[in-house]
Amino acid sequence: MDVSSAPDRTTIVATPKAPSAACPACGNLSTRVHSRYQRVLADLPWQGHAVALRIRARRFRCPEPACSRRIFTERLPAAAPRQRRTGRLAVIQRCIGLGMGGEPGSRLAARLAMPVSGDTLLRLIRAATLDPPPPPRIVGLDDWAWRRGRRYGTLVVDLERNRPIELLPDRQADTVAAWLKAHPGIALVARDRAGAYADGTRAGAPEAVQVADRWHLLRNLGDALQRILDRHPQDLRAAAKAAVAAPSAANETLPPPPSPARPVSPQRQAALARHAARQALFEEIAALHAQGWSQSRIAQATGLDRKTLRRWLRLGRPPTWQQPRHGSAVERHADHLRRRWDEGCRNATQLWREIQALGYAGRPGTVRDWLRRRRLRATSSAASMARWKTPSGRRAAWLVVADAEKLDATERRFAEALLAGPVALVEVIELAREFRRMVRERQPERLDGWLGAAASTALRGFADSLRRDLAAVRAALTEPWSTSPVEGQISRLKMIKRQMYGRAGFDLLRQRVLLAA
């Protein structure tokens, strides 16, 4: 063996010493050397240098006259035939590719003195063999988006081991049923409320217990409640006015000086223009609907989706989208700031130093802004409360069922004002609260009574959907399993998919998701 070193590479020259080699076709040993050739293999690095093995390999003549291989090359223990790297280097490079992807993995491998191209890393991943997982007994199913609204796949997770075991190219019932039939012994399937998964499970594993996911049950309830509240915009506005009127009347002070009118920003102007365009389109739709046109014909004439058209007509207006405001990092120290405010401290720099010692990493200007807002609230409480926006239907649906300790005073008054509204709306809100409590506290004995009570209210559509999936809904209130681990694995899948910059074909994505599990 001979070792030579260069600035970027160490070369090891070796010659096999075995007196004979076995023919790969017939297995007979041969000592008759036909010729020699040089084989170069990349190997693990040494002292920060890439290593190359130059092996003076031999060709042998097969001693068996009837063998189809007249001449064969001797097999090396370090690498498979026609490979240009040793097996141990291939394993390390494949692990880098699984963790980093193609081009990022190539850059990391070069820094580790194991240079390889990004395409080669992807080939190593595709060529890897997946070991069959242990037979699953409890699995979770959920969909993931190749392209949201266009194309979806299905991820199957072994819930007992919390690891993905299969990636399916679509979310069709036949595909799910075929996979379940190929894996007998599955006793429980946790899934969302999608009908395809329910049908596929019934066809592929009829003996398995189906469990509807509890988060999806509450999300379906929120969607149903939102649609109902969207049909009561006057009641939402009245409740919002009542929520801000009570503290305004109790803390009435001298009226604040009128603030100068602010110019309308370009963003606001664009928003108003978009709303005006939607309003004009709705008036056109309403006129055609009044003339007796069908929804399909109106959708074709206006270019609007049929579901959107149906929702607009049901609401009686085009929808509005209002995002809730999110607090800044200084709000985590609001209790300390309010206490110091009540003690008479108004110095923003002093308050910033105090909360900085408590872990605040922001700038003094943020504390000054907080104090400025505090002064405005102190001097014009009624004016600031009047600026509280009417919640959207989705926000209101959460406010009326959320725990009271998670709401501020105005939001609690808003929920109480809605409960003092029309009897039909109050009944729906009470049923929604009861269903949320029933799901969170796992009370299956109350389900039948709740379904009977909801049948005569605006929630009857939601109740009917529960009846069609009653066994899975009842199992959700008794079984501990859910699709939460599947959602976590889908987040990991999305990270891998985005990391691949458009190279995420199904075969490659499946290998990376399952091999690295």
Per-residue model confidence as pLDDT tens digits over 216-238: 999 999 999 999 999 888 888 88
Phi, psi of 164, rounded to the nearest 5 degrees = -70, 140
pLDDT band at 385 (very low <50, low <70, confident <90, very high): very low
Query: CA 19 to CA 37: how far, in whole Å?
Result: 17
> Taking 90 as the threshold, does the pLDDT of residue 157 lie above it?
yes
Q: Average pLDDT in the 389-401 region?
A: 88
The Cβ-side half-sphere exposure at 509, using a 13 Å CA radius, reads 25
Give the SS3 label for residue 295.
helix
**Highest mean predicted confidence (pLDDT) among 54-68, 265-279, 308-322:** 54-68
> Taking 50 as the threshold, does the pLDDT of residue 14 lie above it?
yes
pLDDT band at 379 (very low <50, low <70, confident <90, very high): low
Percent of the chain with pLDDT over 70: 92
DSSP state of 317: S
List Cα–Cα distances, 339 to 164, 266, 331, 334, in angstroms: 50, 40, 13, 8
> Taking 50 as the threshold, does the pLDDT of residue 321 lie above it?
yes
Closest of 193, 175, 207, 219 to residue 472, by C-alpha? 193
Q: Average pLDDT in the 267-292 region?
A: 84
> Taking 90 as the threshold, does the pLDDT of residue 177 lie above it?
yes
pTM greater than 0.75 (yes/no): no
Burial 128-160, CB ≥16 within 10 A → b, else e: beeeeeeebebbbbbbbeeeeeeebbbbbbbbe
Structure tokens at 201: 């499970």
> Taking 50 as the threshold, does the pLDDT of residue 253 lie above it?
no
Closest of 65, 60, 71, 68 to residue 21, by C-alpha? 60
Alpha carbon 7 to its chain centroid, in Å, reads 47
Mean pLDDT of the chain: 85
> Taking 50 as the threshold, does the pLDDT of residue 382 lie above it?
no
Closest of 191, 229, 231, 187 to residue 206, by C-alpha? 187
> Taking 90 as the threshold, does the pLDDT of residue 190 lie above it?
yes
pLDDT band at 158 (very low <50, low <70, confident <90, very high): very high
Measured between alpha carbons, how far apart are the two ends of the chain, in Å? 41
Query: CA 107 to CA 113: how far, in whole Å?
Result: 10
pLDDT at 384: 43
The 3 state secondary structure assigned to 68-80 is CCCEEECCCCCCC
**What CATH number belongs to 140-213+482-515?**
3.30.420
The amino acid occupying position 206 is P
Query: CA 221 to CA 218: how far, in whole Å?
Result: 5
Domain ranges of the chain: 1-84, 87-128, 140-213+482-515, 218-231+395-468, 283-317, 330-385
The tens digit of pLDDT for each residue in 446-502 reads 999 999 999 989 999 999 999 998 999 999 999 999 989 999 999 998 888 888 776
185: left (phi over 0), alpha (psi -120 to 50) or beta: left
Query: CA 464 to CA 456: how far, in whole Å?
Result: 11
The tens digit of pLDDT for each residue in 24-77 reads 888 889 889 999 999 898 989 988 889 888 988 899 999 888 898 899 998 888
Residue 42's H or E segment, with its range, is strand 33-46
